[in-house]
């Protein structure tokens, strides 16, 4: 059976749903193939991740509609919150401006973090960032590093990726298994064909280094003809899905990240500090030490008052090392006890990697790459192949996702208009010369 659509998106974990809807709105027949279930055993909390949603004026109404087609978001009343040794720093709290003014940060850094610096002034600051001491610029490096997809040492943090808008309104949500289903239903209501094949078996190619089709198995199976393909999986996810596809699209092999985020579920007893924690807190113990392991943890509330998710960034080579994960948990409990002496932290569950093998989990949900791995990221070897996913995004935020999707949308809409124009000219030529 031969199927077909001018544009197909290969998606997982909700990636690209706004882009698919936006293309369908342009009158382009669009199909989204969801392969989430083929990429490992992941609970909804691991799919969601620790990065929340920093909303600013660049997020459009249609993008907001896509976000709220999933599980609902709750706004953190005092914004993004850092918990440093000297106390909390809330980016939208009643004393946030005073704390920022009283800090040792350089004036241009304060302006960027407050969102009041023009783009030109911000670019000028980045050119001269090395002239600032770490005490004058640490918060800008942190804005690049905490959710970044590229890791660099603290004092060079701003040399890679892009800064997340920490001063924007900050929202988080309790992810559920139904969230993806709701989003896929919303997508279908926008005129997008949604498919969930058992497997993507193979690829067909045409002239000029172009992809012409995918061979699918499942309820709808056969050769799926296409003209433009948007591939939203990393190279490692692609090899896990189907090694043959990996060799086609990423012939240099799967790019294994140097770092990844893992999630512990922790129980905390009632105490003054615990009860005043916001929905989401970034805990940094020592600003001058590497922002990894228990030195930089995300502490996020769950639906139960005494249970929290604790996320930390660890070396990828240690993902499945049970002894290593246990040592990190002991150090994490020690740090949490130092901050909340009566909380009596207990590990309720370890990261998924503690219980499953790579064959069951596959690639990390939130990989972080090294600086030297940049040259291999985002390289498409086919003219009609558009890449998206962790290897392309500068950081894990909806703003970064949407920026890349808008870039792809523009390319495909321009291609579609040129295609229609050529077809009209050809039709006119045939009418004039029957």
Helix (H) or strand (E) holding 224: strand 222-231
* Predicted pLDDT of residue 119: 61
Query: Residue 169: exposed, middle, or buried by beta-carbon count in 10 A (0-12, 13-18, 19+)?
Result: middle
Q: φ, ψ for residue 4 (rounded to 5)?
A: 180, 155
Q: How many C-beta atoms lie closer than 10 Å to residue 219's C-beta?
A: 9
Q: How many C-beta atoms lie closer than 10 Å to residue 383's C-beta?
A: 11
The DSSP annotation for 247-266 comes to HHH-TT-----SEEEEEEEE
Q: State the CATH architecture for 2-44+54-73+175-255+371-422.
A: 3-Layer(bba) Sandwich (3.50)
- Residue 2: pLDDT over 70: no
Question: What average pLDDT does the segment 381-397 reach?
Answer: 95
Q: How many C-beta atoms lie closer than 10 Å to residue 144's C-beta?
A: 21
pTM above 0.85, yes or no: yes
Per DSSP, the chain holds a count of helices (H) and strands (E) of: 15, 19
Choice among 97-101, 128-132, 148-152, 377-381 with the minimum mean pLDDT: 97-101
- Residue 17: pLDDT over 80: yes
The rounded distance, in Å, linking the Cα atoms of 84 and 88 is 6
Name the pLDDT band for 433 (thresholds 50, 70, 90). Answer: confident
Q: Which residues contact 320 (CB under 8 A, 6 or more apart)?
A: 353, 354, 357, 358
Query: For residue 309, what are its two tokens?
Result: 């998710």
* Residues 254/235, Cβ–Cβ less than 8 Å: yes
* Residues 4/224, Cβ–Cβ less than 8 Å: yes
- Residue 324: pLDDT over 90: yes
Question: What average pLDDT does the segment 304-314 reach?
Answer: 98
SS3 content of the chain, % helix, strand, coil (to 5): 40, 25, 35
169-172 sheet: strands from edge to edge: 53-55, 169-172, 74-75
Helix (H) or strand (E) holding 87: strand 87-90
Query: For residue 412, what are its two tokens?
Result: 């495909």
Q: How many C-beta atoms lie closer than 10 Å to residue 173's C-beta?
A: 17
Residue among 288, 235, 276 nearest 257 (CA): 235
Q: How many C-beta atoms lie closer than 10 Å to residue 248's C-beta?
A: 17
The rounded distance, in Å, linking the Cα atoms of 39 and 12 is 8
* Predicted pLDDT of residue 116: 59
* Residues 403/14, Cβ–Cβ less than 8 Å: no
Ordered by start, the domain boundaries in the chain are 2-44+54-73+175-255+371-422, 93-166, 258-363
* Predicted pLDDT of residue 40: 94
The rounded distance, in Å, linking the Cα atoms of 20 and 33 is 10
Q: Which residues contact 287 (CB under 8 A, 6 or more apart)?
A: 84, 138, 154
* Average pLDDT score over the chain: 92
Question: What average pLDDT does the segment 241-262 reach?
Answer: 96
């Amino acid at each position: 059976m031969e199927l077909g659509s001018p544009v197909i998106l290969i998606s997982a974990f909700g990636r690209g749903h706004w882009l698919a809807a936006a293309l369908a709105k342009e009158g382009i027949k669009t199909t989204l193939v969801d392969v989430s279930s083929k990429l490992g055993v992941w609970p909804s909390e691991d799919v969601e991740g620790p990065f929340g949603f920093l909303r600013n004026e660049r997020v459009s109404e249609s993008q907001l509609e896509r976000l709220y087609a999933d599980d609902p978001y709750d706004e953190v009343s005092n914004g993004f919150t850092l918990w440093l040794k000297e106390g909390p720093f809330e980016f939208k709290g009643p004393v946030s401006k005073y704390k920022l003014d009283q800090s040792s940060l350089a004036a241009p850094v304060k302006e960027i973090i407050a969102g009041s610096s023009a783009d030109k002034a911000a670019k000028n600051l980045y050119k001269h960032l090395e002239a600032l001491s770490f005490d004058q610029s640490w918060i800008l490096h942190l804005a690049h590093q905490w959710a970044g997809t590229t890791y660099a040492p603290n004092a060079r943090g701003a040399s890679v990726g892009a800064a997340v808008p920490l001063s924007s309104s900050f929202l988080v949500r309790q992810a559920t298994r139904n969230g993806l289903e709701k989003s896929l239903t919303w997508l279908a209501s926008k005129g997008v064909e949604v498919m969930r094949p058992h497997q993507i078996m193979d690829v067909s190619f045409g002239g000029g280094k172009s992809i012409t089709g995918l061979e699918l198995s499942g309820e709808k199976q056969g050769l799926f003809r296409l003209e433009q393909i948007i591939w939203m999986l990393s190279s490692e996810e692609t090899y896990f899905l189907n090694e043959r596809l990996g060799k086609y699209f990423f012939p240099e092999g799967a790019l294994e990240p140097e770092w990844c985020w893992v999630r512990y579920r922790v129980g905390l007893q009632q105490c003054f500090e615990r009860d005043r924690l916001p929905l989401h807190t970034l805990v940094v113990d020592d600003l001058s030490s590497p922002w990894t392991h228990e030195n930089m943890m995300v502490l996020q509330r769950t639906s139960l008052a005494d249970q929290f998710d604790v996320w930390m960034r660890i070396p990828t080579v240690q993902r499945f090392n049970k002894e290593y994960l246990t040592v990190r948990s002991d150090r994490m409990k020690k740090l949490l006890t130092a901050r909340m002496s009566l909380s009596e932290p207990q590990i309720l569950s370890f990261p998924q990697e503690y219980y499953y093998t790579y064959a069951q989990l596959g690639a990390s949900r939130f990989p972080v790459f090294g600086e030297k791995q940049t040259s291999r990221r985002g390289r498409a070897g086919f003219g009609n192949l558009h890449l998206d996913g962790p290897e392309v995004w500068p950081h894990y935020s909806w703003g970064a996702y949407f920026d890349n999707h808008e870039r792809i949308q523009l390319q495909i809409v321009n291609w579609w208009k040129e295609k229609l124009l050529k077809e009209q000219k050809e039709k006119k030529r045939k009418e004039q010369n029957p």
